[in-house]
Amino acid sequence: MRASVKVVHGVLWLLFLGSNIAFLLGCFSPALSVNEIYEVDVKNLAENLEAEANQRIKENITLIVGPELPTYWRVGVGGVCDVYEETGEVSCRHTFAPSQGVLSILEACLRDSLSRQDELANQTTDDNAGSLDERVNAILTAWSRAIASLEPQRLTSHEGNATRLVRASAAFIILVIVVDTWGAWCIIVREKNKAAAVQASFGSILCLIAGACTAPVIDKSMLLVAGKHESHVGAAVTTLFVGMICRFVYYGFLILFRGPRRPREKPEPSPYPPVWPTTAANLTNRAEPS
Report for 43-57, 71-85, 91-105, 136-150: range of highest mean pLDDT? 71-85
pLDDT in tens, 24-60: 988 898 888 888 888 888 888 888 888 877 777 776 7
Assess whether pLDDT exceeds 60 at residue 20: yes
Mean pLDDT of 62-88: 85
Residue 227: pLDDT band by 50, 70, 90 thresholds?
very low
Residues forming a β-bridge with 284: none
Assess whether pLDDT exceeds 80 at residue 271: no
Per-domain boundaries in the chain: 3-256
Mean pLDDT of the chain: 76
Assess whether pLDDT exceeds 50 at residue 90: yes
Q: Does residue 105 contact residue 70 with C-beta atoms inside 8 Å?
A: no
Mean pLDDT of 14-32: 87
Q: What single letter denotes the amino acid at residue 80? A: V
Cα–Cα distance measured from residue 234 to residue 169, given in angstroms and rounded to the nearest whole number: 15
Q: What is the pTM of this model?
A: 0.74
Cα–Cα distance measured from residue 114 to residue 110, given in angstroms and rounded to the nearest whole number: 6
Q: How many CB atoms lie within 10 A of CB 94?
A: 15
Show the 3-state SS of the chain: CCHHHHHHHHHHHHHHHHHHHHHHCCCCCHHHCCCCCEEEEHHHHHHHHHHHHHHHHCCCCCCCCCCCCCCEEEECCCEEEEEECCCCEEEEEECCCCCCCHHHHHHHHHHHHHHHHHHHCCCCCCCCHHHHHHHHHHHHHHHHHHHHCCCHHHHHHHHHHHHHHHHHHHHHHHHHHHHHHHHHHHHHCCCCHHHHHHHHHHHHHHHHHHHHHHHHHHHCCHHHHHCCCCCCECHHHHHHHHHHHHHHHHHHHHHHCCCCCCCCCCCCCCCCCCCCCCCHHHHHHHHCCC
